[in-house]
Amino acid sequence: MFASLFLTNIFWNMTSEERLKKQKDLIEEIGIYFDKEGFQPIAGRILGLLMVMDKERFTFDEIVEELQISKSSASITLRNLEMRGDIEYITLPGERKRYFQINRKDPLSVIEEFEKKIIKSKEIFDYVLELKEDQNSPNAVFFKELKSLTGLLLASFKKCKEEYKSSEK
């Protein structure tokens, strides 16, 4: 879906208005993407806004205005996104306003999120196996296979982190 949009644009230079239009469309697409990932619709659109626009910092009122949402929705959703670590805000000296922006955290933390999921499922497989009467039952054999896969994946993530660190230098 994103790929097809991409291919329609790469061959010409857009005007500012064309780009703005496409950015607004992309915000909606990103909103739907995050929706499917389990975020609430407004959270997805806020993330989209902060990701795609040329302006990369928005105040509370600008977000309310831009996305046409209520102040209370904005207030609650911004607090949640900040607590989850997806966005952050800065304040400028002499101003009371908060400027929200995406939290550009270390890309390695993305890998670490994957790692946590793998470790969690490995724990479940271990405990299921521990409670199986017949260690050679079809499910027991299957969970052993999955366990060996988690081992490979964790090793692979480790190498990946090292490669990324060395490519940064």
Partner DNA sequence: TTTTTAGTTTATAAAGTTGTAAACTAAAAA
Partner DNA sequence: TTTTTAGTTTACAACTTTATAAACTAAAAA
Q: Which residues bind DNA (CB under 7 A)?
A: 40-43, 59-61, 68-79, 94-98
How many of the chain's residues bind a copy of itself (CB under 8 A)? 54
How many Å apart are CA 134 and CA 126, to the nearest integer?
14
**26-34, 69-77, 83-91, 92-100 -> range binding a copy of itself (CB under 8 A):** 26-34
CA–CA separation, 5 and 3 (whole Å):
5
Q: Is 12 in the site for a copy of itself (CB under 8 A)?
A: no
- The residue (of 37 and 133) whose beta carbon lies closer to DNA is 37
Cβ atoms 77, 43 nearer than 8 A: yes
Q: State in angstroms the smallest separation of the CB of 122 from DNA.
A: 26
51 binds, among a copy of itself, DNA, none (CB under 5 to 8 A by kind): a copy of itself
* Residue placing its CB nearer to DNA in the complex, 94 or 138: 94
How far is CA 7 from each of CA 2, 11, 52, 53, rounded to the nearest angstrom?
A: 9, 8, 18, 20
Site membership for a copy of itself, residue 138 (CB under 8 A): yes
**How do beta strands 58-59 and 98-102 pair?**
antiparallel
To 10 degrees, the CA torsion angle through 118, 122, 124, 129?
Answer: 160
Between 81 and 143, name the residue whose CB sits nearer to DNA.
81
